[in-house]
Structure 1
């Protein structure tokens, strides 16, 4: 039987559901309405007709922290409902989504351990990426304890074993360690799905996300005297759309201008490198949104599930950015919202 027909039989209703979810996301008019608000409470009222309504009771006194908590709870419940009802390829895809957040939480707590030994910052981690073993970091005296109680029995082990980590928390460069974790994680997942016909477009998404990690790592290490040339290349994921020559040039960049010069030779990025630094990054994220939305045009492709949740993450960031601008009376800053319109 043709694989596309088989995929339709298995996942057709799910993919149709995802299309419906994307179409119900906030539109330009919704953001314009939110931008007219004076307080978080006003925003709660304006969101009463959206998917967030059941999590935002108008009777509660909302501050930004509580507002974000409720929005994240909405996201968590929606994701976990789909996750608990998934299997096979869809489970694999959603596991990848969760594991990225688990890695972020893991590195965040380790990086905080020296200055916050009791990890009071634990409440700041993403609830979707929380797992029982993370609590062990609180009582860990050094990285040997972390490995024994938090890593050894979890998915982290296969990535941890590929990274050199000092025993004392403070002696580690957590930016490098996180980059190495992400590099190995994205490469491993790409290999897992390379021969699957249920998420062909996901391979393109991973290449784009690999590109973004390369660009961001290069920007973040422009002032570094240690992370240059081969050391940068070692941190770059091999899952990307850059050719070998561009990778070598990127590893040698010492300024935003030199990064732009490299990107000018790339068919996907050459149109967005003519802007100022801040606009360049915004346009990079705008392109990301377009790439996620393009998943909806793929026939019988599970990638749209992953892309929907990435778009939903962006929507919550948009809402919270408006709330932040309102609290600082910064109406001008609201123009930086990245509207998601299908």
Structure 2
């Protein structure tokens, strides 16, 4: 049987050449994981280059962008530690955009209060932890509760910064972008908590106070009281931008679309609109999010080719 991997590798390398020479130092046959790794490295280099040229308030704005990756890195290490996973392997999975010097020391203890006092108190995320410190047992459920509380505090803080410190129209664009991020988290929290014993009050503590869903107290309360997915679908059918997110398919005869794909698609529409305004800081956010989606697309297409599943290649979210 002929070896098609070399042909796929060479053709892929040629077609990705317009991204620059980011594959120039790869001598072996390309794999999907290598392509994804190199694309992410290029994105991080671009982000850091822009940040090195930035002054306030753009520099602080870009700091806020990194905070979400810091949250994910912290929870990744805590989760890995309680499951006794290899520290070196966990650190390799951390996103460089969310790296800070004391991150590796998080693996020294599984007690959140100790982690806060010894490590987290000196990070920009310290102020987001005040509603988490009462959580003693760091099991998988509580770690997700901590993640959601941290993101709630982070998004609300970022939102306040954008409205108070950024010029128009950046503040208006970021209001829309961050409101969607909050709504997306609210919907996912409601879905993921359906099969848990969390009370309505416990859910409300995790739901952001910004966004379209938070602007209506009745809807927010109903979301916290949901007990099954069908009621969530009914409730969302009355919320303009999200009314079609829970349809079983995009249209008659169309390929079924997951909720995650609906989120990504709507997010890309918001990011495209962010580029229609000139000289706004919000384009940095839109650039990062669009590049991340582009990387997911390239990874998906590369894997479809490698697995000879070319009929599925077009099942990606358009960036442009």
1:130–1:41 CA distance, 2 compared to 1 (3 A): farther
Structure 2 runs not aligned, ≥5 long: 1-5, 250-255
1:269 maps to 2:242 = yes
State the partner residue of 2:22. 55
Q: Decide which structure has greater helix share.
A: 1
State which of 147, 153, 159 in structure 1 corresponds to 2:116.
147
1:329 maps to 2:308 = yes
CA-based RMSD of the aligned residues comes to 2.3
Q: Contact conserved, 1:165 with 1:172, CA < 8 A, in 2? A: no
Normalising by structure 1, we get a TM-score of 0.81
State the partner residue of 1:223. 195
Cα distance in 1 for residues equivalent to 2:75 and 2:62? 20
Q: Which runs of 4+ in 1 moved over 6 A?
A: none
| Per-residue CA distance 1:220-252 (angstroms, 9 max, x = gap) | 1221222x4222222110111121111122222
Mean Cα displacement is larger for which, 135-144 or 252-261? 135-144
Cα distance in 1 for residues equivalent to 2:316 and 2:141? 35
1:252 maps to 2:231 = no
1:47–1:88 CA distance, 2 compared to 1 (3 A): same
Cα distance in 2 for residues equivalent to 1:263 and 1:39? 44
Cα distance in 2 for residues equivalent to 1:117 and 1:284? 32
Q: How big is the shift at 1:113?
A: 0.6
State which of 154, 163, 168 in structure 2 corresponds to 1:185.
154
State the partner residue of 2:36. 68
Cα distance in 1 for residues equivalent to 2:136 and 2:103? 18
| Count of residues paired in the alignment | 302
Q: Contact conserved, 1:321 with 1:337, CA < 8 A, in 2? A: yes
State the partner residue of 1:313. 292
Structure 1 runs not aligned, ≥5 long: 1-36
1:296 maps to 2:275 = yes
How is 1:1-342 mapped onto 2 (pairs within 5 angstroms)? 39-49=8-18, 51=19, 53-57=20-24, 59-119=27-87, 120-140=89-109, 142-164=111-133, 166=135, 169-170=138-139, 173-195=142-164, 196-198=166-168, 199-200=170-171, 201-226=173-198, 228-242=199-213, 243-276=216-249, 278-341=257-320
Q: Contact conserved, 1:159 with 1:185, CA < 8 A, in 2? A: yes
Q: How big is the shift at 1:105?
A: 0.6
Q: Contact conserved, 1:38 with 1:326, CA < 8 A, in 2? A: no
Normalising by structure 2, we get a TM-score of 0.86
| Per-residue CA distance 1:303-324 (angstroms, 9 max, x = gap) | 1221111101111111112233
Q: How big is the shift at 1:41?
A: 4.7
Higher RCO (Cα < 8 Å, 6 or more apart):
1
Q: How big is the shift at 1:286?
A: 0.6
| Per-residue CA distance 1:85-143 (angstroms, 9 max, x = gap) | 11112112211111111111111110111223542221111111111111112333643
